[in-house]
């Protein structure tokens, strides 16, 4: 019998992918020329080497991005459901953020001193997320690294625990996986000198027994977790998981850090607020300042007191936390504008309503075509999983991610003016997204399956 991938014959996927790649080449001559030119001075021809990992024959160059729309340098226009892999979750260049940045640009970009906007942004962060104290960084990666340092300093413990399949940005301690019950560094890492297994612990998401076994050693300073795993496909917490995670961390003197960088999609205040979690630290970045580089971490009274104690008791010298441009005036202005005018209840209402609509469309496709797939979702963030049963762990999820099929579907959609996220088919709904765009995306998926059936018959 012919080989199938997630219910679709491999030959059909290969033939569709080849046709779509040829179509992409024909429609993107200016991107092709820029890609060639960029090769002379950039690694992989692009400013970040993984910008060439979209599965397209060459990178697509963007001319403009506004609201939920992208325009490439060849004049093709796209409904954007990738939204910069979350950086633009509230739409590209939200008007209040763009205006705040323009105004601040004439008043100084960075002074290594606080601005009034920072004070107001702190008040807004506290109101939105329910944690009284905050610090700014330039990225979510920076925020996670800072929080790990604080957690170690506060608890006087060295180990940190993450879940297998996690991603928390460029954070060395989190680049581990669980291999035959042992912790090891991820195989793709470049230039990793430290033995990550020394101070990192790793268990499967939803495995409370394994979690408790590690926490019981009382070596773990903190658990760093996304409340829903979103970087290995999507893995949802089982009922009671978060309650137990909190109970066990408290019981064993381990701090709980919830990384909301992607799960800000859950609703106003992020997953923790919506689901009443009680983290010791909360981290966010990417979209928090409307897509302008900015990360934040928040904490409560107890952590605040313990952090003050750490600072008071340490010798003079750099704390190892922070970068020169963190908390700069531009970022503070963007953060304030984003919290004040963009991340509003009305914005979330719109996003979540459209997410319902897309979920319905994709579920109908899966059911009508009897595809062995499922749709998973955290608020305004959706993914198609190419197995019938949703995974319980990161390992299960990554083991089941097929390669060729998502590439073919993504290329197909791109050629029809629909951008979804590379690596894991994520689709985000922004306040600027329209119902018509959502319907176009749902029918794009349906048409792709129809065309795959046609290709299967021809193969
Ligand atoms: C959950 C999570 N945390 C942190 C980050 C790091 O964000 P940044 O690359 O903006 O530092 C990412 C990036 O994808 C992420 O998915």
pTM: 0.97
* Cβ–ligand 1 contact at 431 (below 6 Å): no
| In the chain, where the domains are located | 4-90+345-458, 95-342
* Cβ–ligand 1 contact at 45 (below 6 Å): no
Please check whether residue 68 is in contact with residue 432, taking contact to mean a CB–CB distance below 8 angstroms: yes
Q: Are β-strands 4-5 and 8-9 bridged in parallel, bridged antiparallel, or unpaired?
A: antiparallel
Ligand 1 atom with the shortest distance to the CA of 231: 16
* Cβ–ligand 1 contact at 140 (below 6 Å): yes
Residue 420 and residue 144: Cα distance in Å, rounded? 26
Cα-to-centroid distance, 294 and ligand 1 (Å): 11
- pLDDT value at position 1? 62
Ligand 1 pocket: which of 174, 286, 287 to mutate (most atoms within 8 A of CB):
286
- pLDDT value at position 458? 85
Nearest residue (by CA) to ligand 1, atom 5, is 169
Residue 98 and residue 101: Cα distance in Å, rounded? 5
Ligand 1 atom with the shortest distance to the CA of 86: 14
Q: What is the dihedral of CA 37, 38, 44, 48, to 10 degrees?
A: -170
* Cβ–ligand 1 contact at 168 (below 6 Å): yes
4-90+345-458 domain in CATH 3.30.70.120? Answer: no
Equal fold, 4-90+345-458 vs 95-342 = no
- pLDDT value at position 423? 80
Please check whether residue 108 is in contact with residue 292, taking contact to mean a CB–CB distance below 8 angstroms: no
* Cβ–ligand 1 contact at 286 (below 6 Å): yes
- In CATH, the number for domain 95-342 is 3.40.640.10
Please check whether residue 28 is in contact with residue 37, taking contact to mean a CB–CB distance below 8 angstroms: no
| 136's tokens | 């700014």
Q: What is the dihedral of CA 8, 10, 13, 17, to 10 degrees?
A: 160
* Bridge partner residues of 66 (DSSP): 69
Residue 264 and residue 285: Cα distance in Å, rounded? 9
- pLDDT value at position 402? 83
Closest by CA position to 348, among listed 437, 265, 271? 265
Please check whether residue 109 is in contact with residue 329, taking contact to mean a CB–CB distance below 8 angstroms: yes
Provide the CA 271 distance to its chain's centre, in angstroms. 13
Residue 275 and residue 379: Cα distance in Å, rounded? 12
| 47's tokens | 């400013």
* Cβ–ligand 1 contact at 231 (below 6 Å): yes
- pLDDT value at position 385? 95
Residue 129 exposure: Cα atoms within 13 Å on the Cβ side: 33
Residue 242 and residue 265: Cα distance in Å, rounded? 18
Sites in the chain below the pLDDT cut of 50: none
Cα-to-centroid distance, 365 and ligand 1 (Å): 31
Please check whether residue 365 is in contact with residue 132, taking contact to mean a CB–CB distance below 8 angstroms: no
246-252, long-range: CB < 8 A, 24+ apart: 246/277, 246/278, 248/208, 248/211, 248/212, 248/215, 249/215, 249/222, 249/223, 251/215, 252/212, 252/215, 252/216, 252/218, 252/220
Q: Which residue has the tokens 């009034």?
A: 116
């Amino acid at each position: 019998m012919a080989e199938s991938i997630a219910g679709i014959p491999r030959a059909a996927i290969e033939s569709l992918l080849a046709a779509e790649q040829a179509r992409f080449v024909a429609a993107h001559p200016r991107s092709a020329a820029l890609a060639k030119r960029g090769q002379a001075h950039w690694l992989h021809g692009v400013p970040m080497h993984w910008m060439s990992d979209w599965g397209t024959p060459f990178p697509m160059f963007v001319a403009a991005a506004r609201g939920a729309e992208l325009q490439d340098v060849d004049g093709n226009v796209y409904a954007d459901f990738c939204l910069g892999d979350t950086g633009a979750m509230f739409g590209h260049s939200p008007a209040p953020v763009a205006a705040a940045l323009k105004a601040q640009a004439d008043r100084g970009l960075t002074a290594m001193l606080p601005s009034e906007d920072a004070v107001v942004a702190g008040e807004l962060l506290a109101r939105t997320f329910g944690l009284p104290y905050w610090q700014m960084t330039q990225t979510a990666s920076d925020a996670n690294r800072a929080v790990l340092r604080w957690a170690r300093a506060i608890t006087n413990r060295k180990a940190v625990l993450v879940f297998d399949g996690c991603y928390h940005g460029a954070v060395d301690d989190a680049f581990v996986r669980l291999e035959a019950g042992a912790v090891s560094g991820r195989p793709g890492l470049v230039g990793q000198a430290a033995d990550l297994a020394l101070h990192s612990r790793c268990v499967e998401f939803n495995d409370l027994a394994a979690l408790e076994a590690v926490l019981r050693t009382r070596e773990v300073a903190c658990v760093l977790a996304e409340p829903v795993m979103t970087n290995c496909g999507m893995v949802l917490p089982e009922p009671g998981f978060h309650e137990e995670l909190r109970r066990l961390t408290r019981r064993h003197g381990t701090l709980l850090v919830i990384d909301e960088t992607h799960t800000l999609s859950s609703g106003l205040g992020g997953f923790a607020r919506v689901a009443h979690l009680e983290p010791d630290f909360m981290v966010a970045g990417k979209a928090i300042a409307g897509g302008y580089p900015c990360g934040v971490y928040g904490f409560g009274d107890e952590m605040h007191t313990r952090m003050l104690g750490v600072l008071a008791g340490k010798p003079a010298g750099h704390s190892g936390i922070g970068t020169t441009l963190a908390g700069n005036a531009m970022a503070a202005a963007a953060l304030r504008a984003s919290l004040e005018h963009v991340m509003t209840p009305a914005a979330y209402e719109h996003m979540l309503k459209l997410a319902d609509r897309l979920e319905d469309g994709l579920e109908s496709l899966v059911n009508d075509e009897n595809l062995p797939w499922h749709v998973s979702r955290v608020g305004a963030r959706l993914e198609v999983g190419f197995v019938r049963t949703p995974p319980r762990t990161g390992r299960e999820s990554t083991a089941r991610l097929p390669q060729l099929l998502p590439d073919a579907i993504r290329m197909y959609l791109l050629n029809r003016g629909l951008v979804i996220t590379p690596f894991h088919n994520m689709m985000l709904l922004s306040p600027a997204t329209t119902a018509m765009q959502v319907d176009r995306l749902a029918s794009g998926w349906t048409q792709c399956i129809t065309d795959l059936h046609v290709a299967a018959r021809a193969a």
